[in-house]
């Protein structure tokens, strides 16, 4: 079970929304993490500096918040590491065939009322719901 953290969730969601708005305002780009990261992989995109800064900020900001507060983020998984790697690969394939990730479609695309993003986000959420149901109730909580 997870903790109910409305204040941290509100602050985090606000910062995600603010970063998406600022990226669109100053660079005219959608804040889809997969697309941003892809531009840093070979062949490296010509606009790599803002991409590197965005990814660095996405990594450094939570680390800064944690270092300045008494908050901790624990990670405990009953799933073996090879299964985590396989699941990450499956997600990557899904992102490729879905032409975007949850941040690009769910945050930015839905805010622009993009029908494709609304459909993609509905599929993400339905798949997540089905996966949790199957893994917890049919497979005994892998």
List pLDDT tens digits, range 38-47. Answer: 899 899 999 9
| Nearest Cα to Cα of residue 127 among 111, 105, 113 | 105
Using the predicted structure, report yes or no on whether residue 66 has a pLDDT greater than 60.
yes
> 6-27 and 48-68 are packed helices; what angle lies between their axes, rounded to 10 degrees?
160
Mean pLDDT of the chain: 87
pLDDT at 86: 93
Token digits for 73?
A: 């983020």
pTM of the predicted protein model: 0.75
Three-state secondary structure call for residue 101: coil
Mean pLDDT, to the nearest integer, of 122-130?
Answer: 92
Read off the pLDDT band of 118 (50, 70, 90): very high
Distance CA 87, CA 81 (A): 10
Given a cut of 70, whether residue 141 has pLDDT beyond it is no
């Amino acid at each position: 079970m997870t903790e109910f953290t409305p204040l941290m969730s509100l602050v985090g969601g606000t910062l995600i929304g603010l970063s998406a708005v600022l990226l669109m305002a100053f660079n005219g780009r959608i804040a889809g993490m997969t697309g941003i990261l892809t531009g840093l992989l070979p062949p490296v995109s010509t606009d790599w500096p803002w991409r590197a800064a965005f990814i660095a900020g996405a990594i450094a900001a939570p680390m800064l918040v944690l270092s300045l507060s008494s908050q901790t983020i624990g990670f405990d998984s009953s799933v073996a590491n090879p299964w985590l790697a396989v699941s990450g690969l499956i997600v990557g394939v899904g992102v490729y065939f879905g032409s975007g990730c949850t941040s690009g479609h769910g945050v930015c695309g839905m805010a622009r009322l993009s029908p494709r993003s609304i459909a993609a986000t509905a599929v993400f959420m339905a798949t997540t719901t089905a996966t949790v149901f199957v893994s917890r109730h049919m497979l005994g909580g892998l």
